[in-house]
Structure 1
Amino acid sequence: MIFSPTPLPGSFLITPKVLGDNRGWFMRTFCKNSFAEIGHHKEWVQMNHSYTALKGTVRGMHFQRAPHKEIKLIRCIAGAAYDVILDLRQNSATYLQWFGAEISAANKQMMYLPEGFAHGFQALTNDVELVYCHSEFYTPALESGVRYNDPKINIQWPLHPVELSARDQQHPLL
């Protein structure tokens, strides 16, 4: 795997090494030793799978508060998404800065977020599926979010948002 640091310290865009032949292909999506090289030592305790039907849909920006801040690893297994991460670490030089990249079934890239980040995405195609690994269990009392269109952050979504949950539309502005 190739771990490419994003402009936000501790986060990475990961490109798996794909081995292929006339039968198809194989790739590793996690290796404890490889992830230890970037400082990841927690175990994945939960995996989630989301499906988004409509191109342009935005989900996010979600995170869990302390003491259950989580590390996430996101992979797109169908369609394409513009994956966005937001640094919410108040002591970070990149506090309130965001980074976005296309992850897709075709490019096989994954996004790695450290603790203290919010995550969201926009479906770039219909029928998008994402798989998430989490380092903490989902804790409803600690779930939170930042509004997807907060002018203080100014995320540049590639498409006009067409579908949002009521919850995501009501996240607070910073």
Structure 2
Amino acid sequence: MKITTTDIEGVAIVDLELRGDDRGFFARTYDRQEFLDAGLVPAVEQCNLSFNHKAGTLRGMHTQVDPAPEAKLVRCTAGAIQDIIVDLRPGSPTRFQHVAVELTADNRRALYVPPYFAHGYLTLTDGAEVVYQVSQAYTPGTERGLRYDDPDLALPWARDVAVISEKDAAWTLLADGAVLT
């Protein structure tokens, strides 16, 4: 694995180091010690799989707060997505800034999402499938969210949203007092 940090502290892009031969290739997708050495929270408490029928499906922007903040390692295993995360850490010099990354089955890239970041993605293809490793189990009562189209965030989505859940469309705007803790 090759772990590359971003301009926002704690956020990392994880690329695979492919070891190929005439059969294909092998690559390690996760190594607890490498994550610890890079200062990242190992993300292995729970694994989730999301399948999306249509391009333009948006899931997010989600986070979990105390007592169960979660780190995530997100990878697209079929199709393509645009993944965006937003820093929600109180007192962070990059609070409300974002990182946007295209994750595809072809580039095999993953995005490491630290605790206290909102996470969401938009499918760029039909049939997009996403695998999440998370450091905490889903904990009812700790979930919070941001509106994907909040003008105060101005997130650079790659295309129009065609499909979104009622819950994700209804998160409160920052200007209207979104609850983030």
Q: Same fold (TM over 0.5)?
A: yes
Q: For residues 24-82 of structure 1, what are the alpha-carbon distances to aligned partners after superposition, in whole Å with 9 as ceiling and x for unaligned?
A: 11110111221111113546110000001111111100011111110100011000100
- Structure 1 runs (4+) deviating above 2 angstroms are 40-43
Specify the SS of the correspondent of 1:4: strand
User: 1:6: how far off?
Assistant: 1.7
- Most deviating of 35-44 and 146-155: 35-44
The residue number in structure 2 matching 1:119 is: 119
The residue number in structure 2 matching 1:39 is: 39
Query: For 1:93 and 1:38, how far apart are their aligned partners in 2?
Result: 20
The residue number in structure 2 matching 1:137 is: 137
CA RMSD of aligned residues (A): 1.0
Query: For 1:98 and 1:84, how far apart are their aligned partners in 2?
Result: 7
Q: How does 1:2-81 map to 2 (within 5 A)?
A: 2-42=2-42, 44-81=44-81
The residue number in structure 2 matching 1:172 is: 172
Specify the SS of the correspondent of 1:36: helix
Specify the SS of the correspondent of 1:144: strand
Query: For 1:62 and 1:79, how far apart are their aligned partners in 2?
Result: 22
Q: For residues 65-100 of structure 1, what are the alpha-carbon distances to aligned partners after superposition, in whole Å with 9 as ceiling and x for unaligned?
A: 111110100011000100111100021110000110
Query: For 1:135 and 1:100, how far apart are their aligned partners in 2?
Result: 21
TM-score calculated relative to the size of structure 2: 0.93
Structure 2 unaligned runs (5+)? 175-181
The residue number in structure 1 matching 2:154 is: 154
TM-score calculated relative to the size of structure 1: 0.97
Q: Which amino acid aligns with 1:54?
A: K
Query: For 1:40 and 1:105, how far apart are their aligned partners in 2?
Result: 24
- Most deviating of 30-39 and 141-150: 30-39
User: 1:23: how far off?
Assistant: 0.8
**Count of residues in correspondence between the two structures:** 174
- Between the two proteins, what is the percent identity of the paired residues? 39
Contact 2:82 2:123 in 1 (8 A): yes
